Structure 1
Amino acid sequence: MATRHVTDGGLETDLIFLRGFDLPEFASFPLLDDEDGRAALRDYYLGYADIAVRAGAPLLLEAPTWRANPDHAAVLGYDAAALDRINRRSVDLLTGIAAERADELVGWEVGGMLGPRGDGYASEGLVDPDEAADYHRPQLASFAAAGASRATVLTLTEVGEAIGISRASADVGLPMGIGFTVETDGRLPGGTTLAEAVEAVDAVAPPAYFLVNCAHPSHVLRGLEPGVWRDRIGGLRVNASTMSHAELDESETLDDGDPEQLALDQQPLIEAFPRLEVLGGCCGTDARHVAAMWGVS
């Protein structure tokens, strides 16, 4: 089994509901341009460094750049040059945080983070892989230039975009984790099963590994099928809530569930995916949940 890394939880829900930040476009990257924002990000990530130290596990710090792509950033006043700067700056910030704790950590990496071009909860139809590669390549290039050792995309809903991102990551030389999300039935929003999605991407543009994120463990379990595809799942970031994506989108309060129960609910997935190398949380989770997952709460 690959060495398993601690990674963070639900960054955006933590910032909004626990730290009181307003995040237009659900984007955390603008905080990198604000002194108070940088302080909050620093405090947030240091909490996960503490977990990694207590767990005796390596740490993977992943950049607060899930929304730092052209479509979402344009609404916030960021052009291509500003995006390049902010994506590089995110890697620099995390590298500095990890370096501070390097003597205590058994190992650490900094990874770039991408999100889908469109909505992270709904399928917007078929995506052309070549167009997706062209769209996401600049962000990946920024991460690579800043010294990130890998990249991850979370909450994908469509195979074509996943293929394009995997191709673009190969172009810039970054190992890639391709993350899909599922609905309450365990399938991607368009009806594709996880097994079908993994096999379709692997057939033409295999990434370093795949992830499942932004779904409660009970949702993921409903869609599990037997097969060697399970060996390709290298990351898991589950939601604290059992609510559907549509319900979460409408919720004005945080459903953070119970950290210890979430860790128990997740255990069948850890057993189902024997090659996990990244373990953290997604919406509604914070350092309490991730600590419980790692048995150090």
Structure 2
Amino acid sequence: MSILSELLARHPKILAECAIAERLRRTPGITLHPTLFNTPLIYGPAEARAAMSSLYQEYLDAAGEADLPLLLTAPTWRLDAERIATAGVSDSINEDAVSYLLQIRDQYRSSSPVLVGALTGPKNDCYRPDLAPTAEESENFHSRQIEQLAETPADFLLSQTLPAVGEALGIARAMAATNKPYLISFCTGLDGKVLDGTPLPEAMDFIDQRVSRPPDGYFVNCTHPRFITANYGVGTLTRLIGIQANASSKDVTQLDASTATEADPVEDWASAMLDLHAKHQVPTLGGCCGTTLAHMAQLIQPKKK
């Protein structure tokens, strides 16, 4: 059993980080890289690196005080070989980003487990399944980064914001060829389906049946929990083990066009998350666009009505 599977088996409730890059994007004085986003901040400037580190520290502190396990992911989301070459940054940036977060984790002493994942993203637009590569193209495109990440001490691999099942399959094949536990996370729409129109149970089963080593589980992210609870009955999502949800219940395509942070009341968001947790026994709860420490705090200790 992998360290990730063991964590999932032992803990009915696990926290995952809320937005890092999106919070930094709205922090005065911090400018994100046009294609690599927050990753270059691991090298500086010092104030920007400290600001990013403080966000990870916030989540570590909150989970530690609640005595709940926590999943963190290194800022490697857009570090595929093509973007690295175009940006002209060091080829070691994937390894450096994992080392950066492991150092933060290892300096923190907590009685509750903290696992660090290494993150990948889609080749193209998260919300445009029509632009997604085929499974074969995806495996070829993503393999170099996945191989680099698999060689690091990261506890697991995670591919996030995937809009199409074909691209997810290619990534899963590349990850299955490594020695790391791994997770696949889809973007889903108002109908609870992957953005390419595939129902979640079908998407998860499709990949499970076509890889040499299935994922330890599946996530959804850049979505809202009500999109899932409204569209699937109890017992239909047994392979769904996590959600990192947007703060807003608007469709992701509407949010992508917004120039300001949009969010439902934090209490409403947390209530919807905990409904999903209870209805479908989804153990891992975290945030995506628009979420902050306040959202994690509500997952830990929701206010009484």
TM-score by length of structure 1 reads: 0.90
Q: Distance in 1 between matches of 2:274 and 2:302?
A: 15
Residue matched to 1:288: 294
SS at 1:41 equivalent:
helix
Structure-2 change in CA distance of 1:126 and 1:59 (3 Å): closer
1:11 aligns with 2:17: no
**For structure 2, which runs of at least 5 residues remain unmatched after alignment?**
1-7
Task: Using CA pairs under 8 Å that are at least 6 residues apart, name the structure with larger relative contact order, 1 or 2.
Answer: 1
Q: Which amino acid aligns with 2:38?
A: S
Contact 1:27 1:65 in 2 (8 A): no
1:176 aligns with 2:182: yes
Q: Which amino acid aligns with 1:152?
A: L
Residue matched to 2:231: 223
Residue matched to 2:111: 105
Contact 1:177 1:209 in 2 (8 A): yes
Deviation by residue 1:248-274 (Cα, 9 ceiling, x = unmatched) = 112111113322221112122112332
1:37 aligns with 2:48: yes
Residue matched to 2:5: none
Report the alpha carbon displacement of residue 162 of structure 1 after superposing the two structures with TM: 1.2
Deviation by residue 1:145-182 (Cα, 9 ceiling, x = unmatched) = 22011011111111111111111112121111100111
TM-score by length of structure 2 reads: 0.88
1:232 aligns with 2:242: no
Report the alpha carbon displacement of residue 20 of structure 1 after superposing the two structures with TM: 4.9
Structure-2 change in CA distance of 1:25 and 1:258 (3 Å): farther
More helix by share: 1
Q: Which amino acid aligns with 1:253?
A: A
Report the aligned-residue RMSD.
2.1
Within a 5 Å distance, the mapping from 1:38-77 to structure 2 comes to 38-77=49-88
Residue matched to 1:25: 35
One of 264, 272, 282 as aligned partner of 2:279? 272
Residue matched to 2:254: 247
Residue matched to 1:204: 210
Q: Distance in 1 between matches of 2:215 and 2:70?
A: 21
**For structure 1, which runs of at least 5 residues remain unmatched after alignment?**
none
One of 115, 138, 152 as aligned partner of 2:121? 115
One of 131, 139, 147 as aligned partner of 1:133? 139
Residue matched to 1:214: 222
